[in-house]
Amino acid sequence: MNTKTTIEWTETTWNPITGCTKISPGCKNCYAERMAKRLQAMGQFRYRNGFQLTLQPQTLNEPFKWKKSRTIFVNSMSDLFHELVPLSFIDKVFHVMNNCQHHQFQILTKRSTNLRQLASLLNWTENIWIGVSVESQDYVYRIDDLRTIPATIRFLSIEPFISPIKQLDLTGIDWVIVGGESGPHARPMHKNWVRQIREFCIEQNVPFFFKQWGGVRRKKSGRLLDDQEWNEMPLRIHSTKFFDLINT
């Protein structure tokens, strides 16, 4: 299975779980749901259950086979901290990450309460980054949960950015990604909302990564903000791709 991805802030996806359920307004036009249903229609075995949460234990060993260092987005097609994922399985995913120190793993969740409650039972080796999605001011509380996690890199994904965020405390946060929604029903993101987040990052000295404007024609709308790309990354990174990005 091709694991390379066009997601700008990572290199590879690894999906030991597929499928999910919607939890907040950011999920409304979930890309993973659209993709899972498409892959089910194409007859792909892994997606035989469509978007229903499905453990994929046969994929657990994949990162061991990737000999060269990669930056890996864990569960682009699900949420590792979904309430239906047993702790024993999360533990298996962590075991792989703990024993693949040549890779960097990026976990992103909307279930920050579950994350906070389970965090002390997991082994947060230095190669594990943890992030929460924050689509609007109503969900900044997820950042308080994130701050409690003993990971090397804690990050925010403000995507899909669907309404303005007027207050943002970035204490203990190492990286902020912003992106607009893509796809046929994409909700608009206003330029000044993005500029405001960039200002928060500059004031609080946190790297800012602008992923995309999104919209119906994602490629056409591009990823320039005020005539430039914003590709800042957290300081403690090792991937060649990211050194390239910083140096462009």
- Interface with ligand SF4 (CB under 6 A): 20, 22-23, 27, 30, 32-33, 78-79, 110
Give 110 or 142: the residue with its C-beta nearer to ligand SF4: 110
Q: Which is nearer to ligand SF4, 108 or 170 (CB)?
A: 108
**What are the phi and psi torsion angles at 13 (to 5°)?**
-110, 150
d(CA 217, CA 214) in angstroms, rounded, equals 7
Nearer to ligand SF4, 13 or 78 (CB): 78
Helix residue ranges, H only, the chain: 31-41, 62-65, 87-98, 112-118, 141-147, 191-204, 218-221, 240-247
Shortest Cβ distance from residue 69 to ligand SF4 (Å)?
26
DSSP code of residue 42 = T
What order do you get walking across the sheet with 208-212 strand by strand?
12-14, 71-74, 104-109, 128-133, 153-158, 175-179, 208-212
Shortest Cβ distance from residue 77 to ligand SF4 (Å)? 7
Q: How far is the CB of 110 from ligand SF4 (least distance, A)?
A: 4
C-beta of 156 vs 201, nearer to ligand SF4: 156
Instruction: Find how far residue 213's CA is from the centre of its chain.
Output: 17
Write down the least CB distance from residue 68 to ligand SF4, Å. 28
| Residue with Cβ nearer ligand SF4 (140 or 245) | 140
**What residues contact residue 159 under an 8 Å CB cut-off, 6+ apart?**
26, 133, 135, 177, 178, 179, 180, 181, 211
Least CB distance from residue 179 to ligand SF4, whole Å?
Answer: 13
